[in-house]
Amino acid sequence: MNSVLVVDDDPHIVRALAITLKGQGYTVTTAMDGESALHAAAQRPVNVVILDLGLPDIDGTTVITRLREWSAVPILVLSARHGSGDKVEALDAGADDYITKPFGLDELLARLRAILRRSTESSDETTTIETSSFTVDLAKRQITKSGQDVRMTPTEWNILDILVRNPDKLITQQQLLTEVWGPAYAKEANYLRVYMAQLRRKLEVEPGTPRHFITEPGMGYRFVP
Amino acid sequence: MNSVLVVDDDPHIVRALAITLKGQGYTVTTAMDGESALHAAAQRPVNVVILDLGLPDIDGTTVITRLREWSAVPILVLSARHGSGDKVEALDAGADDYITKPFGLDELLARLRAILRRSTESSDETTTIETSSFTVDLAKRQITKSGQDVRMTPTEWNILDILVRNPDKLITQQQLLTEVWGPAYAKEANYLRVYMAQLRRKLEVEPGTPRHFITEPGMGYRFVP
DNA sequence: CCAAATCTTGACGCGCTCTTAACGTTCCCC
DNA sequence: GGGGAACGTTAAGAGCGCGTCAAGATTTGG
């Protein structure tokens, strides 16, 4: 199920979009201004953001820029302005598409499908990752270790999810912290140490000498199947 | 360098687009109808296709569908028709964006940049550098030497990163020092000597007579693959 | 409203990395 | 051939980052 964050200061538009999108099977969260939009995006990751440029608090382009500092989520911009300058500015700031009001709902939905199609095809569809000591089913959110199911807390799962989706790749501490706790926690490396210890205790055969969750001192962590 | 395939039956538009795109640094190939467009796309892979819907031989949506049977290349559609039905049809067939004529050139270029940004960030952009004795994977932050992984400290990695991203190019000591340690350390050439020795000990076959990390006396260092 | 689970926060010891200095070597210029 | 500058090498102390544990705060679930 795809999740959408709708950002607009006009309650009517928000409501209309939310109803339409839910009717299409999307999960919808909403925000009325830039600050709460950024907060919402950090709080719960979404598959796509629909963003109105004319927000009461922050300039729309600034919202895009600040979102792009830590997230690669696709952004579809709505705007009442037809000027090409605004379009260029928003697109170059990191937006993926731009529709001018008034727009047709069917066009919006089609562009949404186009964006989501591309963003989901690039992410791997392999849902199960196996190692010598445990198995992770990303779709079912299920972990098995020597026949036994292993329970994970939400935070534990978030970390595991990121690491396992990027096998052999070094994930920096900043990446993990911003993706799991939000950009404000980018320096709280303590949290990582605590939770990496938890993950190892639950998944590694020998938590003291980890074989799958490798620490790269000073840099971050790496998952090796 | 990014390559673009421009497909339109109007010679003026093709010519104008080709000139503009080449001016922006793109490599441009052109086609005047659907069949030759499909042929050209198969002949030489491109990074993005700009496709006019009103072609003389095949319907534009059909071109998209047939292209999508084997290629995931991003498609930007141009069309004179403003009807939302056409847009939905083209986007659902597999197009990534849709602009109606007449369009602003700066908007077209901005949308092109947006499409390319997304497509290049998902596909790994030649992130591996190979030499006769070791391999560096910049995305994974992984170094392999004769089958064995080589660990690097943060400082070591920073230096290696800069050198490897600029093959054959001379990097001055000041550049390295300011980028790794900060501008205040621009005169601490000692640090460089210590860390270059570390890099060579870890990566060179014969650290005494380096073949990849060359010292340019009085100037700086050079990485030669 | 209570209990359990989960998250946050702080403290401590250990190992590794960075820094720094001293010494040996090479190369170039006089 | 001699002197000096730049570079390479090595080693040791200081400091930081990591793993670990535990207790308080917060949220969740019944």
SS3 state of residue B72: coil
β pairing state of B135-137 and B128-130: antiparallel
Q: Which residue in A166, A219, A224 has the most chain B C-beta atoms within 10 A of its own C-beta, making it the best mutation to test that interface? A: A219
B60 interfacial to chain A (CB closer than 8 Å): no
Distance CA A7, CA A14 (A): 7
Q: Give, to the nearest 10 degrees, the angle between helix B60-68 and helix B34-43.
A: 20
Strand D nucleotides within 7 Å of a protein CB: 6-11, 17-22
Give the C-alpha distances (Å, rounded to integers) separating A1 from A41, A149, B213: 17, 24, 50
Give tens-digit pLDDT for A165-213. Answer: 899 999 999 999 988 998 888 889 999 999 999 999 999 999 889 999 9
- pLDDT per position in chain B (225 positions), as tens? 789 999 999 999 999 999 999 999 999 999 999 999 999 999 888 999 999 998 999 999 999 999 999 999 999 999 988 788 899 999 999 999 999 988 899 999 999 999 999 887 765 556 789 999 999 999 899 999 998 999 999 999 999 999 999 999 999 999 999 999 999 998 888 999 999 999 999 999 998 899 999 999 989 999 998
Residues of B in contact with A72 (CB under 8 A): 121
Residues of A in contact with B118 (CB under 8 A): 74, 96, 118-119
What pTM value is reported for the model?
0.73
**CB-strand contact A105/D, under 7 Å:** no
Give tens-digit pLDDT for A119-170. Answer: 876 655 677 899 998 999 988 889 999 888 999 999 999 999 999 989 999 9
Nearest to A151 by CA among A143, A139, A160, A159: A143
What is the end-to-end Cα distance of chain B in Å, rounded? 21
> Is B118–A96 a contact, with Cβ atoms under 8 angstroms apart?
yes
> Is A110–B104 a contact, with Cβ atoms under 8 angstroms apart?
no
For residues A43 and A91, the answer to whether their CB atoms sit within 8 Å is: no
Strand C nucleotides within 7 Å of a protein CB: 5-11, 16-22, 27-28
> Is B141–A110 a contact, with Cβ atoms under 8 angstroms apart?
no
- pLDDT given at position A125: 64
> Is B140–A113 a contact, with Cβ atoms under 8 angstroms apart?
no
Residues A100, A106, A108: CA angle, nearest 5 degrees: 40
Read off the amino acid at residue B111: R
**CB-strand contact B193/D, under 7 Å:** yes
Q: Any idea which nucleotide's C1' is nearest the CA of B153?
A: C17
A113 interfacial to chain B (CB closer than 8 Å): yes
> Is B113–A107 a contact, with Cβ atoms under 8 angstroms apart?
no
**CB-strand contact A191/C, under 7 Å:** yes
